Structure 1
Amino acid sequence: MELILKAYDLKLKHTFTISRKSIDVQPCVIVTLRDGKFAGFGEASSNPYYNITVPMMIADLEKIRSIIESSGTETPEVFWTKIFPYLKDNLFALCALDNAYNDLYARKKGKKLYELWGYTTEKNPLTDYTIGIAPIEKMVAKMEELPWPIYKIKLGTQEDIAIVKALRQHSNAIFRIDANCGWGIDETIRNSIELKKLGVEFLEQPLKADDWDGHKKVFKHSALPIIADESCIKEEDVAKCFQHFHGVNIKLAKCGGITPGRRMIQEAKHLGLRTMAGCMTESTVGISAIAHILPELDYVDMDGPLLLSEDIASGVTMEFGKISYAEGNGTGVHLF
């Protein structure tokens, strides 16, 4: 099995702003695993919040090149367990590798990933489309540029309620709010009451990740469901979120790939938590992996390619929230 690593700079259509940063370009690494006529693909983006860079991911994967390239016959679960000790401090790199291995494994079996797992896709949730923080007129323009059934609105400003009121005047779509740790406890509870009146479905990660006492209070008093994101990174975090959140947003890059991500989904379901998967700013490579766990999810945020001015691959496609799978096996991804 051959390991191929390539860095890309994904250019965005618009400056993308959340409560703690703004970006115009998103660096990422694409992992390709080639075995004869078959190839599998995985992706991970750099992320300053988690201190992850593309050179760091490439360096950590290069250190274990011989171990990776001597593999190829194991199941994805066995492969992940073997590799985890070497990449336990860089789960983003592990994600790109794990997703590529899952893709390759399914292609060699002649199946799409969701078929390999025995999933059916009739009840797949629709993906939302994210509106980053900007002046209200620009946020409205972004909504009008791409009419969509569900919008995920980034907040964490001094005029959050005014923003949502203004956007509501231009759309009857479902709104979801992501404050990216930008609110306080009482602010969240107050905002939840007002936002419920404005047709908001849920709030994502309003408080700082480690404010567990605050999460508990918000969980008890919020008028809207609260979904964990920055508070739910690895597998052991799912149980911690029980009775602190109503659901968890599982991001494959943060947890180490689709293999542990599927385990996290099952743990969340066991605890009665709502299940969501989210994306970083990613190309169709990373998004196509997320698409195959859709049958297990209540909500999904996989709009990464829609934010790009130019994609680097083909795979799943999205139209008015609905995801259509590529024809090929595995994730169906092909690099341009």
Structure 2
Amino acid sequence: MQLDVKLFTLTKRFPLKISYGTTAQTTNAWVKILHDGIEGWGEASPFSAGGDALTTDMIHSSLLKLAPTLEKFTPYERQRIEQVLIEANIISPVRTAIDIALHDWFGKSVNLPLWKIWGLDRSSIVPTSVTIGINTPDGARERVKKWLEYADIQVLKVKLGSKEGIEADKQMLLAVRDEVPNLEIFADANGGWSLENAIIMGKWLADLNIKYIEQPLAKGKEAELPELKAKQPLPIFLDESCFNSLDVPDLANSIDGINIKLMKSGGLTEAIRMIHVARAYELQVMFGCYSDSALTNTAAAQISPLADYLDLDSHLNLIDDPFCGAVLQSGRLFPNDLPGLGVEYRAVSA
């Protein structure tokens, strides 16, 4: 099989600020796997999870070096290909792009959407949250209004962990709550709190009926999670601290759920493993995203009936997404009936 790589740039309508940085634009890799006249598509997105960034240059270089290695395989050999990539220590977004493309190729080869191949029930898909980045109270209000103008939004995720401290977090959250008193809200600190502040904020957020807190402590502070769990009432989900299924067992007794992102996990294959491991430990599951286009979020939507919570909104905040696939209906992101991922290319005007 042949591997083709093309870089493309995505621009956010509204830059997203979280506790450790702001993103306005990224350059991602569009990966095509070609075999027997069929193309399978995947995407690799650069990201940082509170540590060293995985950059576009790293992604592009890795993909170009991999192309000759993959020529001897066929898309039916996903297990062997995955093992080769793991043994070669290939970074996760590159493994993700290849894995997604292989799944897309297979779905197209049998003329079925992936969700149907897996026998999943689209009617069980929950609403996806959309994200309000760190901002001033007035800025957060305006961002909420813009989201509500854009689509039928049912759930918000509010980014906390402001460098200005928890009082700034509180004022911003109160502004959002005041703007949408009837919407469900999740809180995500992206590791921006100390243990002391996480305990304070957990109790405060619980009084406002916030559903859960995500990554309250920084990656590397996992030893403090048992104390946090014992001293605050909200469910704890982890993102930056949990990349793949091997991370779950050591965390399971200190948390309530995990945030699975395809770029972290290495693709749909590993994401499904993570779901099984999480369920074995009676944990809840959510799916999230980085600066991903509709291609990756549509891939995640294929298995979204298996999730308790969804945060697949990155493509909704793009002004130049070259792909279309899963469709937002009544706040829910539904994969379509087209084969494979069901993703199509659309020209983006300059």
Q: Give the TM-score taking structure 1 as reference length.
A: 0.96
Of 285, 306, 313, the residue aligned with 1:303 is 313
Q: How does 1:321-332 map to 2 (within 5 A)?
A: 321-332=331-342
Task: Give the equivalent residue in structure 1 for 2:67.
Answer: 65
Task: Give the equivalent residue in structure 1 for 2:3.
Answer: 3
Q: Deviations over 1:61-119 (max 9, x none)?
A: 22221222322242433432233222x24111111111111111111122111122222
Assess if the C-alpha contact under 8 Å between 2:219 and 2:240 holds in 1.
yes
Q: Deviations over 1:269-306 (max 9, x none)?
A: 01101011111111101101100111111111100111
Assess if the C-alpha contact under 8 Å between 1:43 and 1:285 holds in 2.
yes
Segment drifting more, 263-272 vs 188-197: 188-197
The one-letter amino acid paired with 2:96 is C
Assess if the C-alpha contact under 8 Å between 1:153 and 1:178 holds in 2.
yes
Of 281, 286, 304, the residue aligned with 2:296 is 286
Of 152, 155, 177, the residue aligned with 2:157 is 152
Instruction: Confirm or deny that 1:238 pairs with 2:227.
Output: no
Segment drifting more, 101-110 vs 258-267: 101-110
CA distance in 2, matches of 1:295, 1:226: 21
Q: Deviations over 1:105-135 (max 9, x none)?
A: 1111221111222222221111100011112
Assess if the C-alpha contact under 8 Å between 1:8 and 1:29 holds in 2.
yes
Name the SS for the 1:201 alignment partner.
Answer: coil
CA distance in 2, matches of 1:220, 1:293: 32
CA distance in 2, matches of 1:238, 1:207: 16
**Structure 2 unaligned regions, length at least 5:** none
Task: Give the equivalent residue in structure 1 for 2:39.
Answer: 39
Q: Deviations over 1:150-193 (max 9, x none)?
A: 00000112211121111111102111011000001121111111
CA distance in 1, matches of 2:203, 2:139: 26
CA distance in 2, matches of 1:55, 1:73: 26
Of 272, 277, 280, the residue aligned with 1:270 is 280
Assess if the C-alpha contact under 8 Å between 1:77 and 1:259 holds in 2.
no
Assess if the C-alpha contact under 8 Å between 1:225 and 1:246 holds in 2.
yes
Task: Give the equivalent residue in structure 2 for 1:91.
Answer: 92
CA distance in 2, matches of 1:298, 1:106: 25
Instruction: Confirm or deny that 1:55 pairs with 2:64.
Output: no
Assess if the C-alpha contact under 8 Å between 2:75 and 2:105 holds in 1.
no
CA distance in 1, matches of 2:206, 2:137: 20
Identity of aligned residues (%): 27
Assess if the C-alpha contact under 8 Å between 2:129 and 2:311 holds in 1.
yes
CA distance in 2, matches of 1:202, 1:227: 7
> Compared with structure 1, are the counterparts of its residues 179 and 140 closer, same or farther at alpha carbon in structure 2 (3 Å cutoff)?
same
Of 213, 237, 242, the residue aligned with 1:227 is 237
CA distance in 1, matches of 2:47, 2:84: 25
The one-letter amino acid paired with 1:28 is N
Show structure 1 runs of 4+ deviating over 6 A: none
Assess if the C-alpha contact under 8 Å between 2:113 and 2:336 holds in 1.
no
**Structure 1 unaligned regions, length at least 5:** none
CA distance in 1, matches of 2:104, 2:78: 9
The one-letter amino acid paired with 2:14 is H
CA distance in 1, matches of 2:91, 2:341: 23
Instruction: Confirm or deny that 1:180 pairs with 2:190.
Output: yes
The one-letter amino acid paired with 1:41 is W
Instruction: Confirm or deny that 1:140 pairs with 2:141.
Output: yes
